[in-house]
Amino acid sequence: MAWTLTLAVCTLAAVALAAPFHNDDGLRVELSVVDGLLNRSTDGRIILMFAPAGIDPLDDYDVTSSPDQIFGKNAFKLQSPEAVTLSGGSNFSTDLGVWGWPNVSMNDLPAQSYSVQAFLTRYETQMRSDGSTVSVRFPCGDGAPSIDGPGSLKTSITNVTVTGGSQTIELAFDNITAGQDFNGSEIGGCHQGNYEDTTYLKYVKIRSEKLSRFWGRDMFVGANVVLPHGYNTNDTAKRYPVIYSQGHWPGDGGAFRYSRDEAFASAWNEGVVNANSSESRPTPKLILVTFRHETPFYDDSYAVNNANMGPWGDAINEELIPYIDQTFNTIAQPYARIQEGGSTGGWDSAANLIFRPDLFGACFSSYPDSLDFHRHQAIPLYTAENAYQLANGSIINSIRTFENDTEVILASTAQENHWELTFGTSSRSFLQWDVWQTVFGVQGYNNYPLEAWDKVTGEIYPGAVEYWKHMDLAHYITSNWDGEKNLGENLRNRIFVYVGERDDYFLNGGVHEFDSRVTAKGGPGWANFTYIAQNGHGGNYQDREIWDYLELLSGWIEDHSPEGATPLPRGVTVPSARGNYWEEVLAYGGREAAVARQASPVIYQHEKPRKHDTSALKASVGRWDPGMSLEAVWLLDSKPSCQPFAVMPEQTVTYERKHRWSRHAKLQLAVTGRKRGYETETRKSEFVWI
Ligand SMILES: *[C@@H]1O[C@H](CO)[C@@H](O)[C@H](O)[C@H]1NC(C)=O
Ligand SMILES: *[C@@H]1O[C@H](CO)[C@@H](O)[C@H](O)[C@H]1NC(C)=O
Ligand SMILES: *[C@@H]1O[C@H](CO)[C@@H](O)[C@H](O)[C@H]1NC(C)=O
Ligand SMILES: *[C@@H]1O[C@H](CO)[C@@H](O)[C@H](O)[C@H]1NC(C)=O
Ligand SMILES: *[C@@H]1O[C@H](CO)[C@@H](O)[C@H](O)[C@H]1NC(C)=O
Ligand SMILES: *[C@@H]1O[C@H](CO)[C@@H](O)[C@H](O)[C@H]1NC(C)=O
Ligand SMILES: *[C@@H]1O[C@H](CO)[C@@H](O)[C@H](O)[C@H]1NC(C)=O
Ligand SMILES: *[C@@H]1O[C@H](CO)[C@@H](O)[C@H](O)[C@H]1NC(C)=O
Ligand SMILES: *[C@@H]1O[C@H](CO)[C@@H](O)[C@H](O)[C@H]1NC(C)=O
Ligand SMILES: *[C@@H]1O[C@H](CO)[C@@H](O)[C@H](O)[C@H]1NC(C)=O
Ligand SMILES: *[C@@H]1O[C@H](CO)[C@@H](O)[C@H](O)[C@H]1NC(C)=O
């Protein structure tokens, strides 16, 4: 035989890996680290940006408008004064080579003058309590940016003219982005530092026991608490309802942009709306809370327990909210706790009521991220084969606007996913589509989120999508309608959802799907939906003016208080209604579940083979994660007996015996699995005599 298994695998691997490095004729960028900048080696993500000459590459790197060309490459054990070379780039080099946007390969970079800068997002490798190990960036009270966060290495901006021919550019990392300079009473070091309290805006932060246990390091969660006019710490008899306002990293801003909107803040502080008009009225007396809960994957944890980010739902609801109730004069009862928010915060707020009917009274969820994955943005996730294109060839779009009543597409789902991939592989870009893989999906066998589709091609993996169902809120509600959780009764009249039919991110689709499923079960009015035809993404619930909205929330609380017109029945806030338990979430999607999903190839043979048996032998290729592409080969006495052949997961393959059974050779099935983000792995069956 002219080749061996080892050789066959090596040959394939070499072809796959060699492509990006065969670029002697193209553009090469050699990146070094100046002496003394790094005192130990680091892993991370290199992001190399070419902006038009004279423009700061960081000015605009948004997918819809950026003039930049961006290239990313993972770095392993980078150290001063070593150099890393970036060149080429292809669909197959996302893990070890270059991947770029909008040009995948550096060789396609148009010849012209650029303003060039490179960054290194540093990763730390951390083993989590379930035995999974990931290499990620831990944010630092900075809102988890995709690039140039505190601690990142950077080069200075350099003017370069790209010639289009063979060319080498040398750049040096010579600076580290400074950390946030918190001047408040900071606890926990470089992690969600605290700001300085003002009269009505208080910053709290606690070390989460549960998150720290999962991550194997100190993890903190914070809140910005806006107190109402007239609040007196000492008057503990006077207590206030709390509006939990969910959404992206607020920095030092209070809920509803308290510290960013002067008119709002001054009315709030003075306790009077329209102070100088005949319509002047008191501000609603509420405590407004927003959370600081950035994670190693995003600026917002989605405020639920999930196997990739950890027990954030518990950290907020079981640790931080009790701390808030202890520290401030709140009414610590479900009817006096409202969940609200828009977009990401729309999903967070809905999920928190739906998973915790025992804790909150109602949710007012505006233009939420998909509540029902029959439409994940515009992707029909359960039926489509590709996340970027429908079967009839139609492109699936991601971002739009309307001009003069005409829809204008700003980015397709493919474009946005490809752009994200420059900032991080294995869902580590800190961007939107990646965090959905993280929070809705489970852990992959590679320890990173089990992505529902291939980030480059868009091919959907139904086996991975199946795991999203526990975060599909319509599926969760309808499958717990009766029974122990009894959500059909317990959630009735407590869910309020608003969306504009011109939502910039097509999120109206998921609301309609959710509406149709819960309404089919509960009848019209089971939950309250508002659709406004001309509206896009943004604004308060039902597009209300801020004071109208807060008065609506205040009115709901008053009506549902024990003294109100329609008190919230005790029976609907029972502990049995609760879901999203951390232990269940981890058992469903953590390391043990990922390992249990795997199986080695097995050859089936009669227990006692008969002499002179010529019947074919059957074998299973084993179980692998969704999306693995598999290749099998039969080994005779450890040597390949054939060319490797492609197989499907869980396929049964057959070995045709050339000889009668005579115990003359040992037969094994070897299967090699490959997938983006996974190390190539070969698994062998036990041998059987043939
Ligand atoms: C490495 O540098 C950092 C920051 O400059 C410093 O805090 C740390 O102590 C240094 N570590 C070693 C091993 O020198
Ligand atoms: C780089 O180019 C910009 C505009 O093209 C120019 O203003 C600037 O002076 C140049 N910088 C250097 C260091 O040459
Ligand atoms: C590379 O990017 C430029 C500018 O975005 C574009 O015009 C060009 O078509 C791209 N080339 C390839 C091969 O994709
Ligand atoms: C490093 O960057 C900081 C800003 O983050 C800047 O103030 C400083 O001058 C830079 N140092 C060098 C050597 O370029
Ligand atoms: C604290 O930091 C804030 C914002 O960074 C700044 O406005 C304020 O002046 C600082 N306070 C002190 C005492 O340095
Ligand atoms: C609350 O009580 C503390 C200690 O008794 C006192 O120092 C403080 O002034 C009081 N605050 C108000 C607003 O009455
Ligand atoms: C209301 O009137 C007072 C006194 O005339 C003035 O100082 C204040 O700016 C006015 N406020 C608004 C919101 O117009
Ligand atoms: C493809 O199907 C979608 C959904 O049914 C439809 O909206 C679209 O117009 C179709 N596109 C083409 C090119 O037929
Ligand atoms: C929209 O209408 C305005 C005013 O008629 C016009 O100036 C503008 O060009 C139109 N925009 C588009 C995209 O048609
Ligand atoms: C890379 O993948 C994209 C998305 O599937 C595809 O459109 C493109 O043709 C591929 N390019 C190459 C060179 O295979
Ligand atoms: C839905 O809720 C809004 C806000 O509370 C209310 O104005 C509206 O009447 C409700 N709709 C229905 C059908 O109950």
pLDDT tens across 213-258, in order? 999 999 999 999 999 999 999 999 999 999 999 999 998 888 988 8
Confidence bin at 555 (pLDDT 50/70/90): very high
Residue 184 maps to a domain: no
Question: What would the two tokens of residue 559 be?
Answer: 């009506």
Residue 533 sits in a domain whose CATH number is 3.40.50.1820
User: Is residue 523 lining ligand 8, measured as CB closer than 6 Å?
Assistant: no
Pair 646, 668 in one domain = yes
- Tens digit of pLDDT for each residue in 267-278? 999 999 998 899
CA angle in degrees (0–180, nearest 5) for 598-602-603: 170
According to the model, what pLDDT value does residue 12 have? Answer: 32
Residue nearest to atom 14 of ligand 10 (CA): 91
Residue 1 — very low, low, confident or very high, per pLDDT cuts 50/70/90?
very low
pLDDT-derived band of residue 191, with 50, 70 and 90 as boundaries? low
The answer on pLDDT for 189 being more than 80 is no
For ligand 4, atom 5, name the residue with the nearest CA. Answer: 177
What tokens does 530 get? Answer: 């508002």
193 falls in which pLDDT band (50, 70, 90)? low
Is residue 78 in a domain? yes
Cα(534) to centroid(ligand 9), Å: 17
pLDDT in tens, 398-453: 999 999 999 999 999 999 999 999 999 999 999 999 999 999 999 999 999 999 99
**Are residues 413 and 536 both part of a single domain?**
no
Provide the whole-model pTM.
0.92
Q: How many domains does the chain have?
A: 4
Write down the pLDDT at residue 416.
98
Q: What is the mean pLDDT of the chain?
A: 92
**Atom 3, ligand 8: residue with shortest CA distance:** 394
For 20-58, write each residue's pLDDT tens digit: 444 457 999 999 999 988 888 999 999 999 999 999 999
11 belongs to a structural domain: no
216 and 119, same domain (yes or no): no
Nearest-CA neighbor of 320 among 297, 301, 346?
Answer: 301
CA of 175 from ligand 4 middle (Å) equals 6
Mean pLDDT on 611-620: 84
State residue 180's pLDDT score. 59
Same domain, 284 and 344: yes
Residue at which a domain ends, from 176, 192, 222: 176
Question: Which residues surround ligand 2 with Cβ inside 6 Å?
Answer: 53-54, 159
What are the DSSP E strand ranges found in 389-449? 397-403, 406-412
- The last residue of a domain, from among 536, 571, 593: 593
Res 126 pLDDT > 80: yes
Ligand 7 close to Cβ of residue 277 (< 6 A): no
Whether 6 shows a pLDDT value over 70: the answer reads no
640-674 confidence digits (pLDDT tens) = 998 999 999 888 999 988 777 667 889 999 999 99
Q: Which residues contact 63 (CB under 8 A, 6 or more apart)?
A: 399, 411, 415, 416, 419, 420
Q: What whole-number distance in Å separates Cα of residue 601 and Cα of residue 636?
A: 15
pLDDT above 50 for 678: yes
Instruction: Give the residue numbers spanning the domain of 454.
Output: 373-471
- Answer yes or no: is 182 within a domain: no
| Spacing, Cα 301 to ligand 1 middle (Å) | 30
Can you tell me the distance from the alpha carbon of 353 to that of 360, in angstroms, rounded to the nearest whole number? 6
Ligand 6 close to Cβ of residue 232 (< 6 A): yes
Q: What element of type H or E holds 28?
A: strand 27-33
From 559, 593, 627, the end of a domain falls on 593
Predicted local confidence at residue 607, as pLDDT: 66
pLDDT value of residue 9: 32
User: Residues 315-363: pLDDT tens digits?
Assistant: 999 999 999 999 999 999 999 999 999 999 999 999 999 999 999 999 9
Percent of the residues in the chain that have a pLDDT greater than 70, as a whole number: 93
Ligand 11 atom closest to the CA of 529, numbered from 1: 1
Q: Tell me: do 408 and 424 sit in the same domain.
A: yes
Question: Can you give the pLDDT at residue 14?
Answer: 33
Decide: 376 and 397 in contact? Cβ < 8 Å. no
Statement: residue 186 has pLDDT above 50: no
110 CB less than 6 Å from ligand 3? yes
Q: Are residues 172 and 46 in the same domain?
A: yes
pLDDT of residue 24: 58
Name residue 646's beta-bridge partners.
631
Judged by its nearest atom, the ligand closest to the C-alpha of residue 36 is 1
Same domain for 394 and 439, yes or no, is yes
Q: How many CB atoms neighbour CB 622 within 10 A?
A: 22
Whether 589 and 484 map to the same domain: the answer is yes
Domain CATH number, residue 633: 2.60.40
Q: Is the pLDDT score of 282 beyond 60?
A: yes
Q: Are residues 261 and 223 in the same domain?
A: yes
pLDDT tops 80 at residue 179: no
Query: Residue 192: pLDDT band by 50, 70, 90 thresholds?
Result: low
pLDDT in tens, 130-178: 999 999 999 888 889 999 998 899 999 999 999 999 999 999 999 998 8
For residue 32 the two structure tokens come to 């070094």
Shared domain check, 484 and 359: yes
The stretches of 250-334 forming alpha helices (DSSP H) are 262-270, 312-314, 321-327
**Residue 189 domain-assigned?**
no
At residue 92, the pLDDT reads: 95
